[in-house]
Chains A and B, each alone.
Chain A
């Protein structure tokens, strides 16, 4: 147990850091959600919606998402390789560099240094930082796996390896740019081509940051915390390879009805529909795993987090392909429907599954139990209610927007001005802020629980020493 101690501190460091950046990102999320119905909350130059929205998305995707992925992947890799990390000091340095990079990223986005590529907003010096961080991660992951003490590589390792490779390719290609000073660059790709590269990247950033590493967590922690083996190994194999294959073809479903050549759009839509299959491969695997003993839903408090998480993943992966179909895209593209979709995935699947993994890891590191199952249950219900309310209000207002934009009078003229449509969003946007507050309170319960567990663990360690 002792060799692991140093590495566990690094894992914990990543988890605590990701929670910290998560809080920052969520507070910014609440703020921009209010700006949408109360423009007085825009305080130029730094705190306007246009600048803060990217702080929100990057703060949560990189700070919360990637931070948790680094830490939790290290934990999973060590367990499945049955050995400590190959380069523990490198991992520790990785942690420091990660925090420095996220801090600089947030500041630079507030300052308006923005490449204007969605989810690739950071300017080139920070891009280089991100690549260095990723190489450090890759070296430790591959090194530790190669020197492993367990012959078979378990499913979670496949997903982690795929993540490491895919993100490296995606990130480097989409960020190729010619610098024009330290804080500004112009991409090498222009016009239609730049759109195609960007959404090849954008959709797969969702695929390989919000999907594959989270599936790695799901496949590892669900059996660990329930004690039930994964239902079907063969299904895992089929689902893995078809997911990793199909994802890369689908980016252009973000560009339906744009000037992008039709054949790329259509190909993307077809592969997008196919994507339901591998996604549901994992959903079915999850359900059948717990299906061998549903009483775990009551007896083990973490089971419901994982089952709810994979359920939202399942809904997300049916909704996504639906959105890609031309007739549906026509109605909901550019509307608030899309943030509704996005937050079901990020709040319901990513944050839910990550939080549950952290609930598993922290007590394990300290050799103790979670501080309070009751607090964890309160956390669960609040984030669930907050997330559902967020998504449902946005779906309603999104459909309404789409319909108002299309409505015509008997003589063929447009029925509503843009402003009339906008004004109808306000009550829904206000409700969305309420939903965000509920979700945030839920997250505070989570943080309190983790904090108290760490305190308990420290006291225990001190008493044993």
Chain B
């Protein structure tokens, strides 16, 4: 009887189909009809027309070949990138863009991490920020205009709400604008967690005070992490000057402890937190460096 099967191609094909369908049904088809597969966070919003256009460009350029968009619930990964990814964050992603290779860093929490200006300059020339980066330059996207009619049809297919102004406004935007808008929305449905090391923050005074070499060590760290935004010698750029008398947009000095905190935890206006990348000594050496540069400027 069993031997018959290997003489009857049609019967064989039917049996093979059934065998193939068992796992297919249990692991792929059945879950589709369970709630667990369609979660949505309460404050997750559909993409705007500009953001969706940016996401389409992300897909067209194959950014997913180097960047993932999912933070695993592993301690060091959460420290590096931020809160781990929640199932309900991706309800509007058709398809999902989690990726499978990190030639570049994960982007699941890139939204709001840097100011827009950072992204524009980084896309223009990634190597200016990180000399050893292997990311291609994407400045050419700024010379390509969006097509509002195309965007509108894409919004319709996705069923996202939009107004005539939203669509009309796209005519003045470039593909680079769209891509930056998309960067800024990724992962923002989940509140930013205060970095775990923040609790360990500030003594009021810099413990390295009196250490003559501290500012030199700080300079090395500064060149690696900070000067892309705050300019050479803290003169300012994308981020504000660190050598003038204004702090956090207000005239007047703030204490060393507060500077430490800003470096460690970041600010809501686009300064990223560094507590997980720099240990205490490095952050204090940065404070020393900043004070040193300020002093030179007086």
Contacts and interface: CB of A to CB of B under 8 A. Distances in A.
A114 B95 CA distance: 11
Nearest to A329: B72
Interface string B53-72: 00010011111111010101
Contacts of A245: 19-20, 22-23
B9 interface: yes
B137 interface: yes
A39 B64 CA distance: 17
A379 B56 CA distance: 43
A39 B136 contact: yes
Contact of B62 (A114, A169, A198, A418): A114
B93 A249 contact: no
B90 interface: yes
A190 B88 CA distance: 11
A257 interface: yes
Nearest to A52: B62
B22 to A, nearest CB: 7
Contacts of B191: none
A200 B23 CA distance: 10
Contacts of A260: 87
B64 A248 contact: no
* Chain A interface size range: 35 or more
Interface stretch (A145-153, A217-225, A438-446): A145-153
A245 B26 CA distance: 12
Interface string B1-34: 0000011011011001101111110111001100
A83 to B, nearest CB: 14
Given A153-B6, A191-B91, A244-B19, A252 B62 contact: no
Contact of B132 (A49, A412, A422): A422
Interface stretch (A181-189, A282-290, A369-377): A181-189
Interface in A269-319: 271
B80 interface: yes
Interface in B116-153: 126-127, 130, 132-138, 140, 150, 153
B85 interface: yes
B276 interface: yes
Interface in A30-68: 35-39, 42, 44-45, 48-51, 53-54
Given A406-B74, A412-B196, 6 more contacts: A50-B63, A50-B65, A54-B62, A192-B90, A257-B72, A419-B130
29 contacts: A44-B136, A50-B65, A50-B66, A51-B61, A114-B60, A146-B10, A165-B13, A165-B17, A178-B157, A180-B156, A184-B154, A188-B94, A191-B91, A191-B96, A194-B93, A194-B95, A195-B96, A245-B23, A248-B24, A258-B72, A258-B85, A259-B89, A261-B37, A271-B23, A334-B100, A405-B77, A414-B79, A414-B276, A417-B224
